[in-house]
Structures are given as structure tokens and as C-alpha cells.
Amino acid sequence: MSTAAGLLLAISGAVSHDLVRGAINPNISERGELMSARIAMAASVLVATYLGLNPPGFAAETVALAFGLAAASIFPVLMMGIFTKRVNNRGAVAGMLTGLIFTLGYVFMHKGWLFIPGTNQFPDTVDGSLLGLKSTAIGAVGAIVNFAVAFIVSKSTEDTPQEIKDLVDSVRSPRGAAEAQANH
């Protein structure tokens, strides 16, 4: 139960603070932010309940799909956050959303929409797939799409603020990370 509670708190906090306050509505009140966290938590519970009652008909592939979705959404942004200072928040969000939507769309076209049998447009075999890849391997392509979109959007929008560049420099150095932690 504690793991589930921690995941629900992480999801609701990420949606309300990072997505709603950080990207959609920076002037949202604390009450509005709390409401968006509650809505995100309720939606997460509903999705988890549905998947718990109607688990996808595949077991080993579920883990592969989860890693594929992480590879297409989170991994590129983490790597760009470490190795480049040019990718800004707009590029990172655009890349994550594009990689996630691309990968989920591909998976649903091959596994069925929301994993409902009979709703797939393509068979989930290498020979019958859209790009010659099974749905469990599409995360790598989604990651490449994420990288490309993040760089293109970052290049077409404002440069990363100097304080973010300084933060990246401080994280790259053990001494800088210790000093940054001491200053906060």
C-alpha cells in the first residue's frame, strides 16, 4: 500500500505542480493546484483500477511496454538535462509529449486501443507491423522522436535561462553540487 500511495502522490504532485503550474497556468492559486492534484490522483486511481480488473492479456510484454514508454518519454529529457544546456522547458515538454503520444499510438494500433481486443489496426508481428517493429520495441523510435522534437522546439524558442545553465554546471561537478546544496 505504501508503494501505491507514494506513486499516487508523485503522480498528483507532478501533474499539479510541474504540468499545471509549471506549463499550463503559472498563476494558479494554491487551492487550484490542490484541486488539480486531487483530479490527477482520482484519474490515476481509475486507470489503475481498470487495468487491475481488466489486465492486458500479456504478461512479459507489459514490462517491455512500460520500459518502452519510459524510454520514449523520460529518458531523452534526462539525458539532455545532463549533456546539454540548450534544451529548455518548452522543448523538454514538447519532446516528452510527442515521444509518449507517438509510442502509445503505435502500441494501441498494434495491441488495440486501450488494449481492447479487436480494436487494433495492424497485427502485432514484425511482418504485419506498421514500421517493421513489434509494439514492444517502438520505445527506441519514440526516444529518437523525443530527442528531435525537443531540440527543434528548444532551438525555435528562447534560450535556457542563465540560472538553469549554472545549475547544470553545478550538477556536473561534485564540488559544485555540494556548494549548490549548501546554498539552499
175/101 same-domain check: yes
Domains of the chain: total = 2
92/63 same-domain check: yes
121/154 same-domain check: yes
Whether residue 94 has pLDDT greater than 90: yes
**Residues in contact with 38: Cβ distance below 8 Å, sequence separation at least 6, in sequence order:** 12
Residue positions counted in the chain: 184
Q: State the chain's mean pLDDT as an integer.
A: 82
Query: Which pTM value belongs to this model?
Result: 0.62
Give exposure, 153-173, as e/b (b: 16+ Cβ within 10 Å): bbeeeeebeeeeeebbebeee
101/146 same-domain check: yes
Whether residue 184 has pLDDT greater than 60: no
81/94 same-domain check: yes
142/78 same-domain check: yes
Nearest to 151 by CA among 48, 83, 80: 80
170/123 same-domain check: yes
86/35 same-domain check: no
First and final C-alpha spacing in the chain: 33
pLDDT in tens, 132-161: 877 777 888 999 999 999 999 999 999 888
168/123 same-domain check: yes
Whether residue 105 has pLDDT greater than 80: yes
In this predicted structure, what is the pLDDT of residue 84?
A: 83
Question: Residue 143 sits in which domain range?
Answer: 58-183
pLDDT in tens, 113-129: 887 888 988 887 777 77
Let me know how many helices (H) and strands (E) the chain has, helices first: 8, 0
Q: How confident is the model at residue 181 (pLDDT cuts 50, 70, 90)?
A: low
Whether residue 174 has pLDDT greater than 70: no
Question: Where does a domain end: 31, 54, 77?
Answer: 54
Q: Is 87 helix (H, G, I), strand (E, B) or coil?
A: coil
**At CB < 8 A and 24+ separation, what contacts does 115-118 make?**
115/54, 115/56, 115/57, 117/57
pLDDT in tens, 45-68: 888 777 766 766 655 567 778 888
